[in-house]
Structure 1
Amino acid sequence: MNMKTEFGVATDSPPTNALRVERWSDMPKGTAPARYEVVSEDGTTKTFTLAKGNRIILDALIQQPVYCASPVRISDRVCILRRDYGVPITKEMYSNDTATDRAKFGVYFLSGSVRRIDGGAA
């Protein structure tokens, strides 16, 4: 099992600010097209435009880590963001989610430099 570090200390719990999504209304509201920039490890920059569900998921990840399992199928959007747009999203696994009684669960994190460059508020 991977352990995430928070403030330099290894932990087997997700960050306290991780977003647990039960419905779309738990996430950022903007769905209109917005432009984003990803800076890769080698320093190259990629820009792209997202709208609707993909924008909502990326805006949420920019704000905070997000629990993987949810009724709104976050993982489908994460796969699209990784594959089609090169967004550096990682998943850390944890055990014993007391809120859902799951033995194992994951939390998505942005693992690189990603920012929205225009398109209104999150």
Structure 2
Amino acid sequence: MSSTNQDTKHPPANVLRVTGWKDLPTDRTPALYRVTGSNGDSREFTLAKGNRVILDALLRQPIYCASPVRVSDRVCVLRREYGVPITIEMYENDAATDRAKFGVYFIGEGVARIGGAA
């Protein structure tokens, strides 16, 4: 996983802490997405169910890595199988969980859902 460690003190205020599927977007039906690289090349693919839910959530806001719904598993699939640019930033001292270090996923540029807002 890539990490840029821009600010190891505080994640953005809008980071989503997922405690269950109820915290995520609810639409699990197939949707079309496009990823456009910095060179202008693009690819389109359809996602449904959990992969769609996680990508839609990332398009809205960053997400804490650790969660009971295994966000990390979906992020790995989105990266490897679909080439979605997702990075992880590492931070220290999560007051909500008492973890010394924790990660937050961020969506990269060039990702969009086709035919509707995420």
| TM exceeding 0.5 | yes
1 CA distance for matches of 2:20 and 2:98? 19
Partner residue of 2:111 out of 111, 114, 117: 114
2 CA distance for matches of 1:105 and 1:3? 14
> Is the CA contact 1:31–1:56 (under 8 Å) kept in the aligned structure 2?
yes
Q: Name the structure 1 match of 2:68.
A: 71
SS at match of 1:19: coil
Structure 2 length normalisation: TM-score? 0.92
1 CA distance for matches of 2:98 and 2:104? 15
Q: How many residues align?
A: 115
CA RMSD of aligned residues (A): 1.4
SS at match of 1:35: strand
2 CA distance for matches of 1:86 and 1:116? 14
What one-letter code is carried by the residue in structure 1 that aligns with 2:73?
D
C-alpha deviation, 1:60, in angstroms: 0.2
Structure 1, unmatched stretches of 5+, are 5-10
- 48 and 104 in structure 1: CA distance in 2 versus 1, 3 angstrom threshold: same
What one-letter code is carried by the residue in structure 2 that aligns with 1:2?
N
C-alpha deviation, 1:112, in angstroms: 1.7
- 1:35 and 2:32 correspond: yes
> Is the CA contact 1:38–1:115 (under 8 Å) kept in the aligned structure 2?
yes
SS at match of 2:45: strand
C-alpha deviation, 1:90, in angstroms: 0.1
After TM superposition, the structure 1 = structure 2 runs for residues 78-93 of structure 1, keeping only pairs within 5 Å, are 78-93=75-90
Q: Name the structure 2 match of 1:8.
A: none
Q: Name the structure 1 match of 2:5.
A: 2
- 1:19 and 2:22 correspond: no
After TM superposition, the structure 1 = structure 2 runs for residues 91-106 of structure 1, keeping only pairs within 5 Å, are 91-106=88-103
- Runs of 4+ aligned structure 1 residues displaced above 4 Å come to none
Identity of aligned residues (%): 64
Partner residue of 2:57 out of 57, 60, 68: 60
